[in-house]
């Protein structure tokens, strides 16, 4: 029998959850895209784009393991709502700052740091909450739909952000962001409370360490997370797209929005295809090959001087990245006991946050030292090296056929 591509969507609370995530993802994508453009226009320095990523990464990386511990001890829905208020506070800060002349990027960095604090709790809370809303055998289907929603937001958010800057400046974009966060809060309220069952309590540091130890004892999880960490840390150069849009391709705000959204177009199409295809065969090999090709697309993008070709390469890179995202998410959810889901999701978030937020900082520093184009070529080359090392050091991941709890 053919797999049901809509199986996880037949659960009403999961649909409400996805609606909340769609609004929140779109809002945060608007903020990240608009803030990057605003800071680069203010400073003209690619290093400032790296500092945007660093300002979010510091509180996020410092607190995300605490957020995972809280998600295993508290009502995950309540924790997601509370942390979403902190993210909304960041948007309100940026909106207020942008109503007048902005003379220094420091307040903008401060607002992004508040967003990083909120996301340190929101990511593990929402990721673990999602696993409570569908049966275990629906995890891959649920992961593909959540990936589709996330990457759809990555299309609409940056493209809309670029258009909103052109129409009414950053203040209009941040006002729209605040409206979307309000929609997300309302949709999340449609999910019933999820109090955690009582459990024997130990010292919080020991409980937090359990999540880290669990990941390092599971070679499949460690290999998949390491692949994502180093490949995106070096290979992704999304933070530098304002530089490419303004100084390399000369396409302005609208072109920047299209560049920022292009990877998500490929990701959405691939995620929808994965939902229809069902479970992967040769999952480990597919992940390694897709990440290697992801690095190749960024090398080619750096060398391109054609806007159309650059868009096509970013679409292809997003499609390749979607395979890795879905497989990694399914691995984490399938192999993690429910009582540890928050802490392991936090470790997953730590790896993802390191690759994304610290990756933005790395991109800015590398562009400052090497130049924009050489830094992206270097990053793509490092991604290829990362794939080779992971394939060598994680043979169980390389040989993985089908994701299932009893895989050997």
pLDDT surpasses 80 at 362: no
pLDDT score recorded for residue 408: 36
Residue 384 forms part of a structural domain: yes
pLDDT surpasses 60 at 132: yes
- Cα 110 to Cα 57, 59, 91, 106: the distances in Å are 12, 11, 11, 6
User: In the structure encoding, which two tokens stand for residue 337, read together?
Assistant: 């006991």
What is the rounded CA–CA span in Å between residue 73 and residue 76? 8
Percent over 90 (pLDDT), the chain: 25
Residue 1 forms part of a structural domain: no
pLDDT surpasses 90 at 190: yes
User: What residue numbers bound the domain in which 140 lies?
Assistant: 7-191+203-398
Least confident piece of the model among 7-11, 195-199, 402-406: 402-406
* Structure confidence by residue, pLDDT tens digits, 370-391: 888 898 898 889 889 988 988 8
Least confident piece of the model among 24-33, 36-45, 46-55, 360-369: 360-369
pLDDT score recorded for residue 407: 41
CATH number of the domain that 224 lies in?
Answer: 1.20.1250.20
Which has more confidence, 90 or 198? 90
Residue 55 forms part of a structural domain: yes
Residue 198 forms part of a structural domain: no
Q: What is the number of structural domains in the chain?
A: 1
pLDDT surpasses 50 at 237: yes
* Structure confidence by residue, pLDDT tens digits, 247-259: 889 888 788 878 8
User: In the structure encoding, which two tokens stand for residue 53, read together?
Assistant: 């990523």
Residue 95 forms part of a structural domain: yes
pTM, rounded to two decimals: 0.73
Residue 2 forms part of a structural domain: no
Least confident piece of the model among 144-148, 271-275, 311-315, 319-323: 271-275
pLDDT score recorded for residue 115: 93
Question: Is the CB of residue 27 less than 8 Å from the CB of residue 173?
Answer: no
Question: Is the CB of residue 61 less than 8 Å from the CB of residue 353?
Answer: yes
pLDDT score recorded for residue 247: 87
* Structure confidence by residue, pLDDT tens digits, 68-116: 899 888 899 999 999 999 999 999 999 999 888 888 888 999 999 999 9
User: What is the rounded average pLDDT of the residues 341-362?
Assistant: 73
Which has more confidence, 150 or 376? 376
Alpha helices in 74-105 (DSSP H): 76-98
* Structure confidence by residue, pLDDT tens digits, 42-56: 888 877 877 887 888
What is the rounded CA–CA span in Å between residue 406 and residue 193? 32
pLDDT surpasses 60 at 1: no
pLDDT score recorded for residue 19: 93
Nearest-5° Cα angle at 290, 286 to 293: 145
pLDDT surpasses 80 at 306: yes
For residue 16, the tally of other CB atoms under 10 A from its CB is 18
Question: Is the CB of residue 157 less than 8 Å from the CB of residue 33?
Answer: yes
pLDDT surpasses 50 at 358: yes
Least confident piece of the model among 131-145, 226-240, 364-378: 226-240
Give the mean pLDDT of the chain: 84
Map residue 179 onto helix, strand or coil: helix
For residue 82, the tally of other CB atoms under 10 A from its CB is 16
- Cα 265 to Cα 13, 197, 306: the distances in Å are 26, 40, 19
Which segment, 121-130, 193-202, 236-245, 335-344, is predicted with the most confidence on average? 121-130
């Amino acid at each position: 029998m053919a797999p049901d591509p809509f199986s996880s969507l037949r659960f009403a609370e999961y649909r409400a959850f996805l609606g909340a995530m769609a609004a929140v993802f779109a809002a945060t994508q608007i903020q990240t895209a608009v803030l990057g453009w605003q800071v680069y226009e203010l400073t003209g320095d690619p290093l400032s784009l790296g500092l945007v990523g660093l300002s979010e990464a510091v509180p996020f990386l410092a607190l995300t393991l605490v957020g995972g511990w809280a998600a295993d001890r508290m009502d995950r829905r309540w924790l997601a709502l509370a942390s979403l208020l902190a993210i909304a506070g960041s948007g309100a800060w940026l909106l207020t700052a942008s109503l007048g002349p902005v003379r220094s990027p420091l307040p903008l960095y401060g607002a992004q740091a508040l967003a990083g604090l909120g996301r340190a709790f929101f990511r593990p809370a929402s990721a673990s909450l999602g696993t409570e809303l569908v049966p275990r055998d629906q995890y891959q289907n649920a992961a593909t739909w959540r990936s589709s929603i996330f990457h759809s937001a990555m299309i609409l958010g940056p493209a809309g952000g670029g258009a909103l800057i052109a129409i009414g400046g950053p203040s209009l974009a941040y006002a729209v962001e605040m409206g979307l966060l309000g929609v997300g809060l309302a949709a999340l309220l449609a999910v019933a409370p999820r109090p955690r069952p009582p459990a024997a309590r130990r010292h919080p540091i020991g409980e937090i360490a359990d999540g880290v130890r669990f990941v390092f004892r599971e070679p499949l999880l460690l290999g998949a997370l390491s692949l994502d960490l180093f490949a995106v840390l070096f290979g992704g150069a999304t933070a530098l797209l304002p530089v490419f849009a303004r100084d390399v391709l000369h396409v302005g705000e609208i072109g920047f929005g299209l560049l920022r959204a292009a990877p998500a177009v490929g990701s959405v199409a691939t995620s929808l295809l994965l939902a229809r295809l069902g479970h992967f065969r040769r999952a480990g090999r597919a992940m390694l090959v897709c990440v290697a090709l992801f690095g190749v697309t960024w090398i080619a993008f750096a060398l391109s001087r054609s806007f159309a070709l650059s868009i096509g390469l970013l679409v292809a890179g997003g499609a390749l990245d979607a395979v890795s995202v879905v497989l990694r998410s399914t691995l984490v959810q399938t192999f993690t006991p429910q009582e540890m889901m928050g802490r392991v999701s936090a470790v997953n978030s730590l790896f993802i946050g390191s690759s994304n937020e610290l990756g933005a900082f790395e991109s800015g520093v590398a562009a400052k030292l090497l130049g924009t184009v050489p830094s992206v070529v270097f990053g793509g080359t490092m991604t290829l090296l990362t794939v080779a090392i992971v394939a060598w050091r994680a043979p169980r991941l390389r040989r993985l056929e089908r994701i299932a709890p009893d895989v050997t």
